Structure 1
Amino acid sequence: MAEYLSTNKKKITAPHFFEMKNSGEKISWLTAYDFTTATIVDQAGVDAILIGDSASNVMLGNQTTLPITVEEMIFHARAVARAVKHALVVCDMPFGSYQVSEEEGVRNAIRIMKETDVDAVKLEGGEEIAHMVKRIVDAGIPVCGHLGLTPQSVHKFGGYGLRAKEEAEAAKLMADAKALEEAGCFCIVLEKVPAKLAEEVTKAVSCATIGIGAGNKTDGQVLVYADMLGMNKGFKPKFLRQYANLYEIMTDAIGRYVQDVKSSDFPNESESY
């Protein structure tokens, strides 16, 4: 068994992220949305598993993250949390679950924690949601922030392009990061921002930064598991490194199964009772 396939590792908690940042240990994240995948991802040794609202795309086939509901996020998060023994488990708060009011945001965060057994929640936005973050943290719930390309605001931005290229937006992102730090975030995801800016933010805040399309000077990295395993065709952004081609492997295996069934080769005598 490979060294990283360990079953006796201690459970990672939010305070560990500060320790890892301060010691210079990089933090590895992947998404997962179901029990079986989460079991594999956890046993492979990642530090954190995100039930992202990307489940809207990956699991439900939507074009954006906007349609997924609190109930659907709870369904996926509950399955993931049941599987995980080692990694920190973080659940996205979906669009509409915290934008209306502080009270509704806190209520939904508490509901997600109570009904899923995850370890933390993640919210998109900066200074404008800092008060919400503080209220949720004050309720005893660890919060991860998310800046840069925030997919819940895709219509506002007009697409999924690189964020904070200009000086004004870069300054706003830095201010947002400091506001989230002050509000109590234990980490901040930086998505699709210039590597230099991500490095500056990482140095400026005490909480950990997790990059996706933000260079390698952040405190850690996150990818969607289906993307890095090559389970889909056509989605190959610059920041994505594919570690397998499961699309071809699975298509080939299923194709051979179909052939074996149609030719009566499966099941054979040894596979029959």
Structure 2
Amino acid sequence: MKNIFTYGGQPAQRHLTVECMKNNKAAGKRMTQVTAFDAEEAEAAEAQDIDSLTIGCSNTAEIRAAAPHIFITAAQHMSQYVTEDEALGGAIEAMSHGADAVYSPRGLRTIERLAREGISVQGHTGLFPARATQFGGLRTIGKTAEEALSLMQDFRRLEEAGAYCCEVECVADEALAELKKHSKLVTVTIGAGSSGDIVLSYMADLCGDTENPPRHAKAFGDLLSIRQQLAAERLRALSRYRAAVLDMSFPDDATTVSMPEAELEKLREGLHKTLPVHQ
């Protein structure tokens, strides 16, 4: 456990730091990363010794409270912030709530702006799903030498901009294995084979909670069938409830509180005395 101060100036402890990631990369020690969209997922990941989380910026405080020691990267979406100033403001807010790094899929100027403020920044290369039309659709990048060499340029530019890390998405495994030999960037890979320093999976995919998972995903559980069973049971309960209300079998004696008979008679007498008689 490493003692740190957060970007917001609070003392804290982490199982993993940026320096640890760099050392693990140098030693060839692979690490794990998963998404967490709520406190329950974050708590489960930390309990099972997952190395790091990638989360949305907006719920950083909630996730940090649930998982106080895990390394957290707060991810900014492509369209979340329009200007560099807005991206910087969002990054500082996430860091002040306990994030250890910020992921930005935006341009090099934005990444450089964040890094200049002492924020650990993770960039992106390979396939950008939000820009898939520029790549001819959702496909693997780097299957040709020319395309793989262009990824090397991305690595170099990200390093120059101050990024410590890069998400590599849907890149040919052999290409990444060669490229990473020539880059200091810690690589977070999804759909890019087994050569990454950190392997990222979506929580829903690895838990088997995705109906049509992407090709690079693998299910290690079966939450989907359990959710389907829960949904079916909910429908059965609602149907039986409605039927019971309509046939007057609910509420029944077991779910109803009754007045003592003597008190009921007093109520009737009182109502008869105080209310006008209807003709």
What TM-score range do you get, normalising by the shorter chain?
Answer: 0.7 to 0.9
Equivalent residue, structure 1, for 2:228: 251
2:88 maps to a residue whose letter is V
How many residue pairs match? The answer is 229
Aligned counterpart for 1:30 among listed residues 34, 48, 52: 34
CA distance in 2, matches of 1:93, 1:256: 37
Name the % identity: 26
SS in 1 for 2:109: helix
| Cα deviation 1:191-227 (Å, max 9, x = unaligned) | 1011111112221111211211111122120010101
CA shift in 2, pair 1:156/1:76, >3 Å = farther
How many Å apart are 1:20 and its aligned residue?
1.0
Provide closer, same or farther for how the CA distance between residues 248 and 139 of structure 1 changes in structure 2, counting only shifts above 3 A: same
Amino acid at match of 2:69: H
Equivalence for 1:102: 84
Distance in 1 (alpha carbons) for counterparts of 2:14 and 2:154: 32
1:132 aligns with 2:148: no
Does 1:143 find its partner at 2:142?
no
Question: Which residue in the other structure is 2:141 paired with?
Answer: 163
Structure 1 spans left out of the alignment, 5+ residues: 1-8, 52-72, 265-273
Structure 2: runs of 5+ lacking an equivalent: 1-12, 245-279
Q: Which residue of 2 aligns with 1:172?
A: 150
DSSP 3-state at the match of 1:117: coil
Structure 1 partner of 2:182:
204
Matched residue, 2:260: none
| Letter aligned with residue 58 of structure 2 | F
Counterpart residue type for residue 211 of structure 2: K
Distance 1:224 1:50, change over 3 A: same
Alignment partners' CA distance in 2, 1:105 and 1:252? 42
Q: Is 1:11–1:88's contact at 8 Å kept on the other side of the alignment?
A: yes
Contact 1:92 1:121 in 2 (8 A): yes
Q: Structure 1, residues 85-142: CA drift from partner, whole Å, max 9, x if none?
A: 23210111112345x543343233223323x3211111226xxx33332221120111
Structure 1 residues 75, 148: closer, same or farther in 2, change over 3 A? same
Residue 120 in structure 1 maps to residue 94 in structure 2: no
Distance (whole Å) between structure 2 residues aligned to residue 228 and residue 48 of structure 1: 15
Question: Aligned-residue CA RMSD in angstroms?
Answer: 2.4
Q: Which amino acid aligns with 2:15?
A: K
Q: Are the structure 2 counterparts of residues 251 and 15 from structure 1 closer, same or farther at C-alpha, using a change threshold of 3 Å?
A: same
**2:91 aligned with 1:87:** no
The residue correspondences of 1:33-44 to structure 2 (distance < 5 A) are: 33-44=37-48
How many angstroms apart in 2 are the aligned matches of 1:164 and 1:95? Answer: 22
Larger Rg: 2
How high is the TM-score relative to the length of structure 2?
0.74
Letter in 1 for 2:101: A
- Is 1:242 matched up with 2:223? no
Match of 1:55 in 2: none
1:17 corresponds to which of 21, 28, 52 = 21
Helix, strand or coil for the counterpart of 1:124? coil
The 3-state SS of whatever aligns with 1:210 is: strand
SS of equivalent residue, structure 2 residue 137: coil
The one-letter code matched in structure 2 to 1:123 is: S
- With a CA cutoff of 8 Å and minimum separation of 6, indicate the structure with the bigger relative contact order: 1
Quick check: 159-168 or 216-225, which moved more?
A: 159-168
